[in-house]
Amino acid sequence: MPLTSVTKDVAKLTLTVVGDYPVSQKRLWEAFADPRQLERFWGPPTWPATFTRHDFKVGGRAEYFLSGPNGEKWSGSWKFTAVNPISSFEAKDGEDNAEDENMPAAMKFTFETTPTGSRMTCVTRFSSVEAMETVAKGMEEGLRAAMPQLDTVLAGPSASAAHA
């Protein structure tokens, strides 16, 4: 399992997810930058993701939905506030969910080289303790189910290799 740790910090209103992978930092970044790869691991196996938009630049948006086993759909989106190729990106949780005050306020993904490959750290910030308590448990369960799929994606060719 690639996840090294999932840590909830109520004082800082954060949920931090760390994963270590036996691939280069660039290869790990590509899995998040390419929507076809991202949708292969972003949703849990029983709730796969489909990205309908992935304008991966500052001010751009990613829009996706998760499809449940009984035909349910849950929509999500991110507005990118920072994109630093290969090293990090930041996003605010989607405007589609703006009416839901429990949704995370922002996420920051960082990618770094390690002695054995690379590390992804995602820090999700919540607007309040109530928002964190409402969403964090389900979010943690979803990430623990979804992120192991990243191993299979990383074992395959990168988007740039596939187009070479």
What residue numbers bound the domain in which 135 lies?
A: 3-42+83-154
Is 48 within a domain?
A: no
Residue 115 to residue 113: CA distance in whole angstroms:
7
- How far, in Å, are 20, 49, 81, 90 from residue 75 at the CA level? 28, 9, 20, 19
Three state DSSP letters for the chain? CCEEEEEEECCCCEEEEEEEECCCHHHHHHHHHCHHHHCCCCCCCCCCEEEEEECCCCCCEEEEEEECCCCCEEEEEEEEEEEECCCEEEEEECHHHCCCCCCCCEEEEEEEEECCEEEEEEEEECCCHHHHHHHHHHHHHHHHHHCCHHHHHHHCCCHHHHCC
Is 38 within a domain?
A: yes
Is 13 within a domain?
A: yes
Is 65 within a domain?
A: no
Q: What is the pTM of this model?
A: 0.87
Number of other CB atoms surrounding residue 42 within 10 Å: 25
Listed in sequence order, the residues at least 6 apart from 97 whose beta carbon sits closer than 8 Å to its beta carbon are 75, 76, 77, 103
Check residue 30 and give its pLDDT.
Answer: 96
Is 63 within a domain?
A: no
Residue-wise pLDDT tens for the chain (164 aa)? 478 898 999 999 999 999 999 999 999 999 999 999 999 999 999 999 999 999 999 999 999 999 999 999 989 999 999 999 999 999 998 645 444 555 667 999 999 999 999 999 999 999 888 888 888 788 888 888 888 899 999 998 776 544 44
Is 70 within a domain?
A: no
Is 127 within a domain?
A: yes
Residue 148: CATH number of its domain: 3.30.530.20
Overall number of domains in the chain = 1
Check residue 134 and give its pLDDT.
Answer: 84
